[in-house]
Amino acid sequence: MSEIRTEYYRDGARKAQQDPVLQSALAAAQSRIGGATAKAYMDFPEGPGLRLLGHDIRMKAIENLDILLETLVENIQKKGGHVHFAKDGREATEYCKEIALSRGVRRVVKGKSMVTEEIGLNSALMEEGIKVTETDLGEFIVQLAGEHPSHIIAPAVHKTRREIGKLFSEKLGIPYTTDPPTLTQAARKALREEFLSADMGISGCNLACAETGHITTVSNEGNIRMATTLPKIHVVFMGMERIVARLEDHDILLRLLATGAAAQKMAVYVSYIGGPRTPGQQDGPEEFHLIILDNGRSRILADEEFREILCCIRCAACLNVCPVYGKIGGHAYGHTYCGPIGAVLTPLLVGVNRAKDLCMGETLCGACQAACPVNIDIPRMLLSLRAKLADGDPQWSVTRSSLMEKAFYMAWAGMVRDRRMYELALRAVSGAQKLLPRREGWVHRLPPPFHGWSIHRDMKPVSGKSFIRRWSETHGRRGEGGNEPR
Amino acid sequence: MHSMNHPVTLFVQCLVDALYPEVGEAVVRIFQKLGIPIECPTAQTCCGQPAFNTGYRKEARSAAKRFIEIFEGAERIVCPSGSCVHMVRHHYADLFADDPEWARRAKEIGARTYELSEYLVDVLGVEDLGAAYHGKITYHDSCHLLRGLGIAEQPRRLIRHVRGAELIEMKDSERCCGFGGAFSFKYPDISAAILDDKVKNIVATGADLVVGCDMSCLMSIQGRLSRIGSSIAVLHIAQLLAG
């Protein structure tokens, strides 16, 4: 399992905010992709409503997951592929390790895969003395730097040309340059050597197709195609939810994926792979293994409230528009999945209490849902997670996050049901606030727990006379609630 | 009965009630100007959104039930906040998902609850309230108003009809201002960083006035403008239109 650091959200966020290089990289990435995606949705021949159709297709697949997976497995086995279900990350890495060790694998090339990041596959293989090379350019950079991806599809979004130039000159021994084509060429050269000498290729799976028995990989660099066809063994890691029923569904979802990810009509390379090479075929691996990973997903599937999050096709469109992600970057979230999708998925995978800042640290602005190519209602699920933190939840082993806050809201609930008490409270606040420091009529410093507000902003004081009091004085206490029904 | 003769009931929003009573008074003046009778239940307090957004559903339900009891007899409910209308119209359904009777009552009220600019433009068909403002105005799209209720054009039409006013669109108007309720004081640095982008975009328009339909966002924007000593004014659209 890759390291979980969700408890350090605030520290990570602070560090990110103090990093001017990261700040400008995030701003540039968001302004470049965020707006372009929204525009691209309008250009679908079917219109922007295609997103809703995509949602239906994904939801239907999630609701019929057992049947779809069974069909996929049968079809892949028919073609001579091996399939293994792994209940958690450990089982998945152990299975992969076993294949590698029993076949004497020394070198592995990888296509970009967040699910292998989730289970910490690289370090598990490297502990066995196996060399693992990431072949997606961004992942390659992040791996050379000894870091983790900070974005689901643009893993090195936090790094500048200068940093990459320095990194390449140190690790690849090329003269320092910040010229992107030269740097890309250097990576390409290093990677070609890896591709040609690798004994095993590992990839993720963007979306499997049950009826044809294929997994698909999507990339813009062509690296996954090389990683999955050159080595003798191809191992695929697939999150158990990444499947749809039919090829027609792929037509729609792969377009939605490319649009959500990069405002593209279609990704540059899409490969359908369904097993090892057959006699007479020139290319392809001799062995094909599909590892289907649960790792907490069936628990999500079992809960109607959160099932919808499994519709995600990992395009990262939500990251590109999220105001919070735009300020804190991906590492602050402390786990593989960051941004709005991570704010829902990570707590469900690693524990709601330990990821409570991910659930609470969002503005609920809804930009994520609007940007999502399959229209996932992320704000709804963030609210559901908050409800679990507020009152605890045995099903998800969540304990109440703050007794003080609970007491506050209980008192509040009593007050809002009784205008007279409410009015007294308003007057009490209005009186008490006279003690607070002011400047030109604005409160300059607020007491805890609201003091965060006044670090950066002034506060309008509570009015000496509420609107309702003013109204009552001029109109009398009439209207629906005038009799104070209890 | 034609909409223009139909009385409206004011759902005032707790923030306006407590901190910005002048916004509530502006709403009243608008309807008086239009000759539309306006009622205001004096037992109202809060729709429950603060508790709901923080996860305290039991407490939010308690507030919501009280809201429903108070407003159930009202035929047309108008509120100067997109966020509160979004709560009543959409989130009450989540709140009463396990309680069909209250869910029904909530749904009925939700269908009769309108945001102010929406009521003026879509229901009454009024875009020109005869207001005047001599200066440059920029408009902030509040998130729940825009993405929750789909209201973007209505307030802009109302602003464009204000005599002497020039509407200048800011960059990324539809982007969140960073308020987010409790988020604003629980994660103050992130909230302020988002807010600063908003303020930068406001300043860049050269406008002397920011207008919006939600006092929550505007309070945050105004609080930051005040802190940095900016002379840019902030008004709720009701204040602009009431003249």
pLDDT of residue A484: 41
Q: Band the pLDDT of A282: cuts 50, 70, 90.
A: confident
Q: Note whether A386 contacts B28, CB cutoff 8 Å.
A: no
Please, which residues 108-127 of chain B have a Cβ atom closer than 8 Å to chain A?
Answer: none
Of A383, A456, A482, which is closest to B42 when you measure between CB atoms? A482
Classify burial at A181, counting beta carbons within 10 Å of its beta carbon; exposed 0-12, middle 13-18, buried 19 or more. Answer: exposed
A162 touches chain B (CB under 8 A): no
DSSP A220: S
> Residue B237: phi, psi to the nearest 5?
-55, -30
Quote the CA–CA distance of A435 and A438 in Å, as a whole number.
Answer: 9
A324 interaction partners in chain B (CB closer than 8 Å): 190, 194
pLDDT higher than threshold 50 for residue A483? no
pLDDT of residue A480: 43
pLDDT of residue A164: 96
CB neighbour burial string for A33-44, b if at least 16 within 10 angstroms, e if fewer? bbbebbebbeeb
For chain B, give the percent of residues with pLDDT over 70: 100
Rounded to the nearest angstrom, the minimum Cα separation between A3 and chain B is 24
Q: Note whether B41 contacts A370, CB cutoff 8 Å.
A: no
Is ipTM > 0.85 here? yes
Please, which residues 187-226 of chain B have a Cβ atom closer than 8 Å to chain A?
Answer: 187-195, 197, 219-220, 222-224, 226
Kind and range of the H or E run holding A29: helix A20-29
Of the candidate CATH numbers 3.40.50.10420, 3.30.565.10, 3.10.20.740, 3.30.70.2740, the domain formed by A44-295 belongs to 3.40.50.10420
Of B53, B174, B185, which is closest to A383 when you measure between CB atoms? B53
Rounded to the nearest angstrom, the minimum Cα separation between B134 and chain A is 25
Kind and range of the H or E run holding A443: strand A442-443
Of B24, B52, B191, which is closest to A467 when you measure between CB atoms? B24
Average pLDDT value for residue range A375-381: 98
pLDDT higher than threshold 80 for residue B199? yes
A404 touches chain B (CB under 8 A): no
DSSP B151: -
Quote the CA–CA distance of A298 and B196 in Å, as a whole number.
Answer: 41
Q: Note whether B188 contacts A452, CB cutoff 8 Å.
A: yes
B186 touches chain A (CB under 8 A): yes
Beta strand pairing status for A233-239 and A200-203? parallel
CB within 8 A of B59, min separation 6: which ones?
A: A409, A410, A412, A413, B48, B51
pLDDT higher than threshold 50 for residue A482? no
* β-bridge partners, A216: A272
Within 10 A of A146 (CB to CB), how many other CB atoms are there? Answer: 8
pLDDT of residue A283: 86
Q: What is the pLDDT of residues A93-152, one digit of tens each?
A: 999 999 999 999 999 999 999 999 999 999 999 999 999 999 999 999 999 999 999 999
A389 interaction partners in chain B (CB closer than 8 Å): 55
Of B25, B43, B183, which is closest to A482 when you measure between CB atoms? B43
pLDDT of residue A440: 86
A465 touches chain B (CB under 8 A): yes
Average pLDDT value for residue range A398-413: 97
CB neighbour burial string for A117-128, b if at least 16 within 10 angstroms, e if fewer? bbbbbbebbeee
Quote the CA–CA distance of A109 and A135 in Å, as a whole number.
Answer: 7
B12 touches chain A (CB under 8 A): yes
> What pTM value is reported for the model?
0.96
Classify burial at A392, counting beta carbons within 10 Å of its beta carbon; exposed 0-12, middle 13-18, buried 19 or more. Answer: middle
Beta strand pairing status for A438-439 and A442-443? antiparallel
DSSP A373: T
**Residue A62 backbone class (left: φ over 0; alpha: ψ -120 to 50; beta: rest):** alpha
Q: What is the pLDDT of residues B39-86, one digit of tens each?
A: 999 999 999 999 999 999 999 999 999 999 999 999 999 999 999 999
Sequence ranges of the domains in chain A: 44-295, 408-475
Residue with the bigger pLDDT between B243 and A41: it is A41
For chain A, give the percent of residues with pLDDT over 90: 94
Q: Please tell me which residue of chain A has the smallest CA distance to B73.
A: A480
Kind and range of the H or E run holding B136: strand B132-139
Structure tokens at B215: 């006092």
How far does Cα B9 stand from its chain's mean position? 15
Q: Band the pLDDT of A481: cuts 50, 70, 90.
A: very low
A471 interaction partners in chain B (CB closer than 8 Å): 24, 28, 40, 42
